[in-house]
Amino acid sequence: MATRCGCASGPGATCPSRACSGSRAGRRPPTPRASPAAVHQPIRAPRSRSLRSISSRPRLTKARPTDNPPAGVSVIRARGAFQSLIGGRSAAHSNGGSEAMSMLSTPKKVAAGLFAGVAALAFVAAPAISSSQQTQAPQRPLAQIGQPAPNFELPDLDGKKHSLEKLREGGYVVVLEWFNADCPFVVKHHQHHQTMKETYKEFKDKKVRWVAINSAAPGGQGHGIERNKRAHREWEMQYPILIDEPGTVGRAYGARTTPHMYIISAEGVLIYNGAIDNNRSARELGDINYVQKALKEHFNGDTVEIPETRPYGCSVKYEGVR
């Protein structure tokens, strides 16, 4: 008897065809064959992006010192803050937080985090002005045109005290000349051209009192009683030189150069502040004497036409100034 597939049935019968092995119910289901791609490319478990590549990058190094280091925050601290940012994200990744995983799985977000960290580092490392620089900024002088001049009391070369109040007694106008016997610009007006002596003589009989003030600190150019006495004698100065070693009076008036001239009215009001003339060289004389011009206008009852000019000369040798 033959089967449906053409094989004989019965005792001892065989069937060469693999397609027939008895009844359909006794068949073994065929084993599925894997595709060539599956054989040569094993399935791998999905892996998330790790921060190992980030942490293995070169660490930020300490910035080189500059002339103006940042105040209050060092570059090392900034680097530590940046590394704390990376460490925080790594901890979130290890804890399996879904939010952290979503952040780290996107390369753009990781790059944005790195950029933000570098930007923060650059911000804290930017030079800033220190508090000491702010407190040492020059204050506005007390002496202002049209305002009462600051009163003072200073000794002369013989120790006698002179105050602005006493100098003004009797309705006198007061001329202040900041002085340094070793300054070439002072030498110009006392020795080469005698500008100060001639201007003083011109107004001596018009109730004008003139004093020179030396604000040089000890060790500064032009400092010293003997040095000033010699200049007073050699230049035949007819008015006193007052000593302001602490520089208190000079700073109150804002004296910047030698010479630097001030005129104070009999009422105690500052009416002129600036240079002696309009030639800033150390040799040649200017064609306008500002002090002479201001005194003439004042005694004529007129308003001083040029109450302020830019002084020129050597810097006043206050403490710390050379």
Q: Does 175 share its domain with 204?
A: yes
More confident residue, 215 or 53: 215
Domain that holds residue 260: 153-315
Q: Does 167 share its domain with 93?
A: no
Split at pLDDT 50, 70, 90, the class of 1 is very low
Which of 98, 133, 168 finishes a domain? 133
- Structural domain contains residue 84: yes
**Is residue 51 pLDDT above 50, yes or no?**
no
Find all residues with CB under 8 Å of 25, minimum gap 6, and list them.
none
Q: How many CA atoms lie within 13 A of 79 on its CB side?
A: 9
What pLDDT, on a 0 to 100 scale, did the predictor assign at position 246? 96
Average pLDDT along the chain = 74
- Structural domain contains residue 9: no
pLDDT in tens, 255-295: 999 999 999 999 999 999 999 999 999 999 999 999 999 99
CATH for 237:
3.40.30.10
- Structural domain contains residue 17: no
- Structural domain contains residue 187: yes
- Structural domain contains residue 57: yes
Q: Does 244 share its domain with 304?
A: yes
Q: Does 120 share its domain with 77?
A: yes
As a whole number, mean pLDDT of residues 303-316 equals 98
Q: Does 201 share its domain with 297?
A: yes
Which H helix or E strand runs over 272? Answer: strand 270-274
| Distance in angstroms (rounded) separating the CA atoms of residues 141 and 147 | 12
pLDDT in tens, 134-157: 223 346 788 999 999 999 999 999
Q: Does 184 share its domain with 299?
A: yes
- Structural domain contains residue 7: no
Find all residues with CB under 8 Å of 157, minimum gap 6, and list them.
225, 228, 229, 232, 240, 241, 243
- Structural domain contains residue 148: no
As a whole number, mean pLDDT of residues 88-113 equals 45
Number of domains in the chain: 2
Count of other CB atoms within 10 angstroms of residue 3: 15
Phi-psi region of 155 (alpha: psi -120 to 50; beta: other; left: phi over 0): beta
What pLDDT, on a 0 to 100 scale, did the predictor assign at position 165? 97
| Distance in angstroms (rounded) separating the CA atoms of residues 313 and 180 | 10
- Structural domain contains residue 31: no
Cα Rg, the chain, nearest whole Å = 47
pLDDT in tens, 21-37: 444 444 555 555 544 44
Q: Does 163 share its domain with 311?
A: yes
Per DSSP, the three-state class of 165 is helix
